[in-house]
Amino acid sequence: MVQRLCNHAALMVLGIFLGAALMASWFGIGTGQVVHATATHGEGNFAIATGPADNGIEAFYFLDFLTGDLRAAVVSRRRGDFTAFFEYNIQNDFEPTKNPKYLMVTGQANLPRGSGNIQLGNSLIYIAEATTGQVNAYALPFNANLNAAGKSQRASFIHMAGGSFRTTFVRDQE
């Protein structure tokens, strides 16, 4: 009789456990959602942002409003320090403005990457000039093989697209 009660109790505990496991899998509990986050911040005459350069590695972007220099750096998977550096001056891509007010964000991009060593990174950098309404997009020509080997690389950003999103002229307020 005691053994029979123990068998029933064990089956009941096993049933509760299996039921809870089935309910958890049914409602998606325990399966994590993959989240991709980028960060952007501006202060005075600078803006910084992060965005994916390749699978599992991101780039750090830096824009100097006064000089128009857009720079990026990527940490090597192998060495753990900055080994990839990119530069481009954005001033010629925008209408001349006395005191430019830039905004910068990154977005994921699944652009055709080609078959060579130099491929476009997994993000675009969007820079808007607030007084004129112009926006330009830039891509990073990233070499994942050099990054994996811990070797340095230097290149210029690629200007992808641009245009104006403001249809009326707005005068600067001094």
The single residue listed with the structure tokens 């055709």 is 112
- Of all residues in the chain, the percent with pLDDT exceeding 70 is 70
7 CB burial (10 A radius; 0-12, 13-18, 19+): exposed
Alpha-carbon span 123 to 86, nearest angstrom:
14
pLDDT in tens, 60-111: 999 999 999 999 999 888 888 898 999 999 999 998 888 888 999 998 887 7
Of 74, 68, 67, which Cα lies nearest the Cα of 50?
A: 74
Chain center to CA of 157: 15
Of 147, 159, 129, 154, which Cα lies nearest the Cα of 52?
A: 147
Whether the pLDDT of residue 31 is over 60: the answer is no
- Quote the pLDDT of residue 138: 96
Whole-model pTM: value is 0.72
